[in-house]
Amino acid sequence: MSRKKSLLIGINYTGSQNELRGCHQDVENVAQFLSERGYSDDPRSQVILRDDLEGNYYPTGHNILAAIDWLVSEPDTTNFLHYSGHGGQVQDPTGEHPSGVLDTICPVDFQDNGQIDSDMLHQHVVRALAPNSTLFVILDCCHSGSALELSLVYRGDDDGNVNLVDNIKQGVSLLGEANDLFQGGRGGSFNVAEAQDLYAGATSFFRSFKHMGGGGGSGLEDGGFEENRGEQKMVTMFSGCRDDQTSADANIQGMSEGAMSWAFLETMKRIPNPSYIEALSDTRACLKESQYTQVPQLSVGENFDLNQPLAL
């Protein structure tokens, strides 16, 4: 049996104007779930970062990246990463993306030291994953649909069907809609914020396509396909929402939790060994039943049969 490692990050931003309430509880809930799934809570196998902890376990940007590097560093391991906190967007420093923004996660010190953008996450999480290893990721935050820039994105609909998002077609469509807004379309109403959201959505689709080999390279050097150079790597991610949506704090039986984290764990209770499709569609259904509009997504680094059991 391969060694199992986990990294759980929960940030409530306590005492700030950005305060959340459910992220610490998410960490506790996920830790209990992982314990039931054979993950050890030994410090050599599990690291928890929360903003009620100190030192190396305080979730600054530096500590988060260091912990991620630790998580993905060993070959022949099964790895689990959970993040519950704020997600956002920052200006693209490279100028390569049409929207001019990148999706992010927000460390506790993001106002002083900046956010961790999707390019950096792809480098530290996907490209750095050691050979012959797997990584399962849950990002319970806003604007998280393409935060790891994985190649293939799946989304469920209201009827329980799961479909592959057509990155090219949807990216072109989003860019067209945004351009229409900038030029006074939709009855002449000009909405800069809406247009920027559309451009951001288009950028995420084109950026993920770049890692499939559509951006001028083979895609292998970018690590988009995790099976390369003879190495077997597999990265899958459940995100709390689409790129253009926010993720909610939920109140479950008087306790604050992240809505997506709660719904995913509820799904795993209902269906102990779901397939990838069942896990995604049931998580969506669970959120909808509780009146949450956010749409969870499944992103993967390579094409495989989603009817096989979810690998944790």
Quick check: is 124 catalytic?
A: no
Q: What is the pLDDT of residue 108?
A: 97
- What are the extents of the domains in the chain? 3-166+217-300
Which residue in 82, 86, 122, 211 is the catalytic one?
86
% of the chain exceeding 70 in pLDDT? 66
- Of the residues 141, 142, 241, 286, only one is catalytic, namely 142
141 catalytic? Reply is: no
Q: What is the pLDDT of residue 74?
A: 96
Q: Check residue 137 and give its pLDDT.
A: 95
At residue 2's C-alpha, the angle toward residues 137 and 266, to 5°, is 40
For residue range 86-95, list pLDDT tens digits in order: 988 777 777 6
The CATH architecture of the domain made up of 3-166+217-300 is: 3-Layer(aba) Sandwich (3.40)
pLDDT of residue 305: 87
Lowest pLDDT segment from 80-89, 135-144, 183-192:
183-192
pTM over 0.75: yes
CA-based torsion, 88, 89, 94, 97: positive or negative: positive
